[in-house]
Amino acid sequence: MISLSSFDSIITKWFILCYSLYYCTMVFQLSENEITFPDPALAEPDGLLAIGGDLSAARLRLAYANGIFPWFNEDDPIQWFSPHERCVVFPGKVTISKSMAKVLKDNVFRLTSNTVFAEVIQHCATADRKGQDGTWITKAMQDAYIKLHEQGIAHSVEVWQGDRLVGGLYGLIVGTVFCGESMFSLVSNASKVAFITLCSQKGFTLIDCQLPNPHLMSLGAEMIPREQYLSILQPTGD
């Protein structure tokens, strides 16, 4: 009889074989018994660096400290990415429109931090997104990031209307970089308010958005090379 772990291993190897044959390249397979990653510079053109491993807190901490993040669908093996270009926002360059400035001035929303992390990540997982079927924020991913939150590594910003949670975001803090994972909005402007509030917090030199989309670009996001991103994430002398 094939065990569940053996079956997962077979699926992972099959995925790597198919990817390698299709793209005429090789993908690194991670061991669940050793917490290591290959050099991010070895990532494929689409940013894929490695497949496999696990979502343990130790592995996730190592990944983010080296500019690597997990991104995969429910039925796929764990995939680790390190894009050649990174979508980021420098806090001082965040774009605030006149209408958004009025929303902030009028205190339309109430804001908190780290009060309902699990609710924020669940909303992010179930949010409807244009052109996307399903979610990459699987139950396993949610559990992993909740553990990181319990360890003081993952953080959330929450946006409220009265007692109703209407928006928010979550991510990890690595040094002076906030590594954003996802955001959601149940009413207009809620996620933008969460993001702008994050940018206004002292101590952050960079907000990592990983991959670009129109919403992020409208907030002042820009693309920088991986090398520049890593130089900010891992400043010399730290």
Contacts of 55 (CB under 8 A, 6+ apart): 70, 78, 140, 141, 143, 144
- How big, in percent rounded to 5, are the helix, strand and coil portions of the chain? 35, 25, 40
Q: How many CB atoms lie within 10 A of CB 160?
A: 17
pLDDT tens digit string along 132-181?
555 679 999 999 999 999 999 999 999 999 999 999 999 999 999 999 99
Q: Are 54 and 36 in contact (CB under 8 A)?
A: no
* Torsion over CA: 199, 113, 79, 138 (sign): negative
Structure tokens that stand for 17 in this block: 């074989």
pLDDT tens digit string along 205-234?
999 999 999 989 999 999 999 999 999 999
Strand, coil or helix: 149: helix
Domains of the chain: 4-82 (3.30.70.3550), 87-233 (3.40.630.70)
Amino acid identity for residue 38 in this structure: P
Phi and psi for 99 in degrees, rounded to 5? -65, -40
Q: Which of 151, 11, 128, 148 is nearest to 79 (CA)?
A: 11
Contacts of 99 (CB under 8 A, 6+ apart): none
pLDDT tens digit string along 81-137?
999 999 999 999 999 999 999 999 999 999 999 999 999 999 999 987 665 555 679
CA distance 238 to 80: 25
Question: Judging by DSSP bridges, how do beta strands 206-210 and 177-185 pair with one another?
Answer: parallel
